[in-house]
């Protein structure tokens, strides 16, 4: 291996492996962590705001009015409902706009990085199989990198799915039964939109989640056992 031309060939192969199997997947994963983390934080924040929206509307009403709830008449109740529903409507429009932007951002990321994510998973899968075939006693330093990259992509994919589910539950749990008809219609639109699953996929082929991670491990192990049997 240390003699020419084997040394030169192995050196070129090593450099190519570092560039394509290390730098490329690591940079894609780092970018996805930042952007998907931003989307997840936004969705969780919107969900919390939805749950507290009616309480915030009541607090806003009492801060802007000087009379006590004990002295309320029917007319004052109507005024209270109008003020609170105006507050709710204003914030619902902001929430639904932000939710739409997050969905569009996720779709743009998936569209732009569709090929890159597929290539990353292909390279990491090939790398894992090669490392197992090379023997863990020789490749124990390389295996954790590939496992972490694959696991992190699937983890952030699962996180964005969970954030979408939390937002969907928050829409239904926002005390919409107290809203007026206009706000109920807005909540219905939000509920229909939130029921469309937020997800990140590898080229539209497979959704990145924990199920995908298990499938990759299963495929890698199956390919390894098949090739090991053939080599033996």
- pLDDT for res 1: 56
pTM: 0.81
Residue 17 lies in a domain: no
What are the angstrom distances between the C-alpha of 25 and each of 121, 127, 134, 211?
8, 11, 21, 20
Residues in the chain: 232
Rg of the chain (C-alpha set): 26
Number of independent structural domains in the chain = 1
**pLDDT score recorded for residue 70:** 46
The per-residue b/e assignment along 3-14, b for 16 or more CB within 10 angstroms, e otherwise, is: eeeeeeeeeeee
pLDDT for 74 equals: 52
Residue 46 contacts residue 95 (beta carbons within 8 Å): yes
1 located within any domain: no
DSSP state of 54: H
For residue 68, the model assigns a pLDDT of 47
Q: Give a yes or no: residue 155 inside a domain.
A: yes
Q: What is the CATH number of the domain that holds 73?
A: 1.20.1050
Residue 86 lies in a domain: yes
Distances (CA, A) of 204 to 107, 110, 181, 196, 211: 11, 8, 39, 16, 15
3-state SS class at 1 = coil
Domain limits at 61?
30-231
Residues 116, 28: contact at Cβ < 8 Å?
Answer: yes
Q: Give the C-alpha separation, 189 to 184, whole Å.
A: 9
Q: Is 63 part of any domain?
A: yes
Kindly give the parts of the chain with pLDDT less than 70: 1-3, 65-77, 231-232
- Give pLDDT, residue 101: 93
The reply to whether 179 falls in a domain is yes
Q: Check residue 72 and give its pLDDT.
A: 52
Please, are residues 173 and 125 in contact by the beta-carbon 8 Å criterion?
no
How confident is the model at residue 75, as a pLDDT? 59
Q: What integer pLDDT is reported at residue 112 of this predicted model?
A: 86
In a domain, 46, yes or no: yes
The dihedral through the CA atoms of 116, 150, 35, 204 has a sign that is positive
pLDDT at 20: 73
Phi-psi region of 3 (alpha: psi -120 to 50; beta: other; left: phi over 0): beta
């Amino acid at each position: 291996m240390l003699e020419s031309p084997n040394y030169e060939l192995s050196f070129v192969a090593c450099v190519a492996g570092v560039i394509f199997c290390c730098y490329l997947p690591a940079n894609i994963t780092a970018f996805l962590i930042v952007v998907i983390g931003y989307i997840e934080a936004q969705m969780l924040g919107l969900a919390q705001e939805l749950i507290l929206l009616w309480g915030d509307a009541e607090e806003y009403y009492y801060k802007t009015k000087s009379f006590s709830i004990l002295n309320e008449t029917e007319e004052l109740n109507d005024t209270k409902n109008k003020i609170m529903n105006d507050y709710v409507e204003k914030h619902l429009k902001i929430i639904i706009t932000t939710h739409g932007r997050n969905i569009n951002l996720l779709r743009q990321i998936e569209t732009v990085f569709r090929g890159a994510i597929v290539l990353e998973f292909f390279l990491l899968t090939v790398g894992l199989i090669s490392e197992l075939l090379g023997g863990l006693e020789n490749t124990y330093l390389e295996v954790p990198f590939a496992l972490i990259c694959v696991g992190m992509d699937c983890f952030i994919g699962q996180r964005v799915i969970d954030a979408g589910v939390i937002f969907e539950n928050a829409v239904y749990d926002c005390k919409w039964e107290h809203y007026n008809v206009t706000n109920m219609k807005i909540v219905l639109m939000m509920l229909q939109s939130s029921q469309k699953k937020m997800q990140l996929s590898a080229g539209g082929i497979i959704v990145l989640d924990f199920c995908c991670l298990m499938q990759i491990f299963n495929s890698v192990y199956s390919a390894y056992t098949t090739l090991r049997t053939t080599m033996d």
